[in-house]
Amino acid sequence: MSFLEKIEYYFFYFISIIFHPLLMPSLVFVFLFYNKNSFIYSFINYNIALNTLFMLFIFSVVIPLILILFMKLLKVIASITTPAKGERILMSIIVGIFIFELYLFYSKLYPFNVLFKRYILIILLLIIFTTISKFSYHSYSAGAMLSLLLLYYFSSFSKYLYNTNMAVLLSLFLISGLILTSRLVTKAHSFSQVIRGFIMGVISSFITFVIF
């Protein structure tokens, strides 16, 4: 591997880490509620949104990650980076349970309650898809994130929920492209697994908007 190839590999390996599927719920939240043109300034108290983001990060990233690492130490799971199907499902269930707990806490507070219900359904669909086919969780998360935010943006009530600019939209496509490319460059998945995961993520977000 040449010097430039090493730089490329480690760059995309870094992309895989900072845009890990565990971080996607928090990232979506940031795009929705902390964009300078978003509805937060009209409908949601800034401190409430900030506290909610903190809770979301703790429940969807910190606690699940601690539990997963603990299970790895106990040899309940063999690998964190390349888990088997059953281990992937178990990790997804853990994250889903904690986001469900968060939903119960915010069940009466719109629009957080709707967003968390969509998160839960996306995770449930992820588990179902995992039993059917092998695909990239990173790509699934990227597809779900991109389509979920675009659906918010283009929904009939977007003028209240997500009135953003083209720079934000372009950044979403750029991030998604980087995530998909990272899985190929690092040879974590085949091309078909990456594309399959992305399509499944897009489908999942559309289903959540139809139901909720």
pLDDT value at residue 147: 93
Please provide the DSSP assignment of 122-191 as one string: HHHHHHHHHHH----HHHHHHHHHHHHHHHHHHSTTHHHHB---HHHHHHHHHHHHHHHHHHHHTTSS-H
| Euclidean distance between CA atoms 174 and 189, whole angstroms | 20
| Euclidean distance between CA atoms 9 and 182, whole angstroms | 8
pLDDT value at residue 109: 83
Residue of 167, 146, 178 whose CA lies nearest to 27: 146
Return averaged pLDDT per consecutive 10 residues of the chain, 212 residues in all: 85 91 91 61 69 93 91 80 81 93 89 91 96 94 92 63 63 92 92 96 94 89
The string of pLDDT tens digits covering residues 99-118 is: 999 999 998 888 888 899 99
Cβ atoms < 10 Å from Cβ of 120: 19
| Euclidean distance between CA atoms 43 and 18, whole angstroms | 30
3-state DSSP assignment of residue 19: coil
Express the helix, strand and coil content of the chain in percent, nearest 5 each.
Answer: 80, 0, 20
| Euclidean distance between CA atoms 197 and 142, whole angstroms | 9
